[in-house]
Amino acid sequence: MKALFFNRMVIVGVGLIGGSLAIAGRRKGLVKEIIGVGRGAANLKEAVNLNIIDSFTFDISEAIKGADLIVLATPVGSFEGLVKQMKHKLNKGAIITDAGSVKGIMVSKLERLLPKGTYFVAGHPIAGKEKSGVKAASHRLFEGTKCILTPTKKTDASALKKVKALWRAVGAEVVLMDPMLHDKVLGAVSHLPHAAAYSIVNTVAEIKKDGNNFIAFSGGGFKDFTRIAASSPEMWRDIFLSNRENLVNMISRYQKNLEKLKRYIKDKDSKRLIKELEKAKAVRDRLN
């Protein structure tokens, strides 16, 4: 038997992230039984057919009986309601973790809701794709990626150790971060780009002239840049609203930089324009 072993893992939201964690956990021998919880019967049946989960239910209270690990992989706006539904039915020693893109206040809310003897370890695997649903799941999704865990003073050390080991076992590098700092960082590197991508797609889609729909002429550059606008609107609505203060601040900073670029172009200021473009290219080159 391996050092890391969960008897019953419950995946609430068997989509890309939840499904990928389930299938990776099964292949690595980290879990004995996997139960799926969700709203769509077709998606859950597909997860069973693909051997990603063993069974499913629409009743979360039923699913968590005897569970030692519950993974919340639904939109972040649903977390509080889900924990309220399950808090009186949790097995003693049960660990709840999540895959949400917003932490901050959400972490303290969930910590206050849980009864004594049950534990919450907030997590965020940085491994998304624009595709959703269990068919997009892959056992290799987390390999070579980062998973941010955001423990607080209330986080149980043993529970944290187990969740750390889980993510490392499926291939992720675990990084510990303060919950509030997490939301500032992700507001900049993830939430702002998504907001920009959605906005750019809508901007171009609105332009029609002489019978031509401009977006129909989109090439590789446009498609590459806006790929993330194909992500789940429900998920990103919840992320934007849950991290609204940080995101609004980042949008304001982005607008200032965009206005600066606009001014250089309008004024035909070649010198400042090339300097601005070279600065961005140098930063982007270092990311490769």
Question: Which of the two residues, 3 and 110, has the higher pLDDT score?
Answer: 110
Is residue 201 located within the same domain as residue 266?
A: yes
74 and 211 in a common domain: no
One domain for residues 33 and 153: yes
- Using alpha carbons, select from 137, 167, 127, 128 the residue that is nearest to residue 149: 167
**pLDDT confidence of 278, banded at 50, 70, 90?**
very high
Give how far Cα 233 sits from Cα of 110, 132, 195, Å: 24, 11, 11
What distance in Å separates the CA atoms of residue 72 and residue 55, rounded to the nearest whole number? Answer: 17
Q: What is the pLDDT of residues 95-137, one digit of tens each?
A: 999 999 999 999 999 999 999 999 999 999 998 776 778 888 9
Last residue of a domain, one of 177, 192, 218: 177
pLDDT at 210: 83
User: Is 168 found in the same domain as 32?
Assistant: yes
How far is CA 77 from each of CA 48, 86, 103, 187, 243, rounded to the nearest angstrom? 26, 16, 11, 16, 11
Cβ proximity of 130 and 232 under 8 Å: no
The residue-averaged pLDDT of 9-37 equals 95
Residues 68 and 196 in one domain: no
pLDDT tens profile 50-71: 999 999 999 999 999 999 999 9
Shared domain check, 145 and 56: yes
Range of the domain at 260: 181-285
Do 170 and 278 share a domain, yes or no? Answer: no
**Domain termination residue (choose one: 160, 177, 194):** 177
Q: pLDDT at residue 224 above 90?
A: yes
One domain, residues 26 and 151: yes
The predicted model scores a pTM of 0.91
Q: Does some domain include residue 186?
A: yes
Q: What pLDDT, on a 0 to 100 scale, did the predictor assign at position 130? A: 67
Mean of pLDDT values over 13-33: 95
Residue 37 and residue 147 in one domain: yes
